[in-house]
Structure 1
Amino acid sequence: MNGRTIRIIGIDPGLRRTGWGVVESDGVRLVYVASGVITPPTDDDLAYRLSALFDGITGIIQSFSPSEAAVEETFVNENPRSTLKLGQARGAVLLAPARLGLRVAEYTPNLIKKSVAGTGHAEKRQIQAMIAFLLPKATFESADEADALAIAITHAHHRVSRARAAALRPLKAV
């Protein structure tokens, strides 16, 4: 990889299991760095579980020093209580990279699936197979890790067009 390599952390938020994956991209090639899952104690109160997610993501960012972060956007469940809890977990994992000064992008589940598998309605096993193909050195043991790596890959593919779009937006008057 050349001197323009960027390290990206992808985060698949969840209150029970939050997947994370770190990749490097030079705009052409992708390299697997690391991945894992944060599992807060399920018997803790919500505030402490959210704190565990925040601390976990903060520690991972400090360990692997990514330059940018990408997080999956929330989808709406039929159960409003579950949706609210997922939103709170997303808040904790969005805050961690922001507090450490990283640019944070968000992507819809369908865009992530389309970017990695070619279809917005790909199944979990298709995503895992494509991650294994795109990152042959990746060692992931769960769908949460594979999803987080897919989020990082999506950001690697879309970050340049997002930066161009941001640069073209008119400045807001103060």
Structure 2
Amino acid sequence: MLKKLKTNFKVFKILLVTDELSEANRIIKFLGISFVILACFYILGFVRLSTTILICISLSGIFFIIGDIFEYFCKVQHQKKAINISIRYKKIGYLKLVKMICQFLAIISLIIAPYITTTLTTTMLAKVSNTLSMLAIGLTVFKIGLDNSMKKAEFEEMIADELLRVANEHAAVIQDKKE
């Protein structure tokens, strides 16, 4: 009876954590959809966005994507089996810290930065906005390339493992025939 209660409690904890992760994920998706809606409203003329707001949104996107790039490097470190485990986990810890700082700066860029006064001219603000937009697109495309490289490496590893398994089965069949 006690064992069953412990098992049920573990399942409950897993479901609770899963629900919390789902809720956090849902909030992130809603935030993304909100920006898509804002962009649609902007193009249709329902809202006006100042150059400062656009700079802050682009800056936030840059920080989010840089955080994702650091997450990619965390995954790469997880896969490096040849490195001493304590060194590997120390590197992963630093990478996760940088990712967390980037996420914090991304949120600050959305919530606080639009309200900071600036002395930049309209021309300079437009130049900064365009630069940050191009940087955000460039980093996003770069991150897509990193993800594709990782998927390719995982696929190649899966094929190599399957070929090795088939070769071992074939060798076992040949060995059985010899006996």
Bucket of the pairwise TM-score, normalised by the shorter protein? under 0.3
Q: Report the TM-score when normalising by structure 1.
A: 0.23
Normalized per residue, which structure has more strand?
1
Pick the structure with greater CA Rg: 2
Normalized per residue, which structure has more helix?
2
Q: Report the TM-score when normalising by structure 2.
A: 0.22
